[in-house]
Amino acid sequence: MRGLVLQYYLILRLIVRTQPDLRPCLKRCRHCRIFFLTDRRNAWRKDGGEAGRRDLGCPFGCPEAHGQEQSKRRSVAYYQTEEGKKKKQRLNQRRRESGMGSAPGEVATAVWPEPLVVHVQGVVSLIERRPVSREEILEVLAKVLRQQGLGRRRKIDHAVAWLNENPP
């Protein structure tokens, strides 16, 4: 994982060096503190100041993870109250009676998480200085990860290897 982050930062640094007008778009995630490129509208304050927004979450899953963590804390706090304990007993009893306990349901996962596709679309639009459609992004992502090497590698490792062979 550390190698991926290093390569990500090298590419990000190259982009900001070759296009210095994107430097204000470089922000830190308020949760994990990783740098990422954001939309130009988030880069500047409304009064024209340079600091811009500092409350942004990265598109790599931090806002969702942070929200889940907060939800879990609220749920734990509620179920520790008398009312919550009684409600949990009723829910567990109903689950046992209906036979729903342990059978996992089917989980459909998208190939590309939507927040990540939106982020890539925004970054590519910033870099290319033109609007890039979602379809173009999906096509490029599919093309990059379509061909697998002879060895068994994860898709992300394949993508990193491809970026090493074909730098931007």
143 pLDDT exceeds 50?
yes
**Cβ atoms within 10 Å of 43's Cβ, excluding its own:** 20
162 pLDDT exceeds 90?
no
| Pair of tokens at residue 108 | 């459909």
130 pLDDT exceeds 60?
yes
Q: How confident is the model at residue 65 (pLDDT cuts 50, 70, 90)?
A: confident
pTM over 0.85: no
Whether 66 contacts 56, CB under 8 Å: no
For the purposes of burial, counting CB atoms within 10 Å of the CB of 50, is it exposed (0-12), middle (13-18) or buried (19 or more)?
A: exposed
29 pLDDT exceeds 70?
yes
Q: How confident is the model at residue 105 (pLDDT cuts 50, 70, 90)?
A: very low
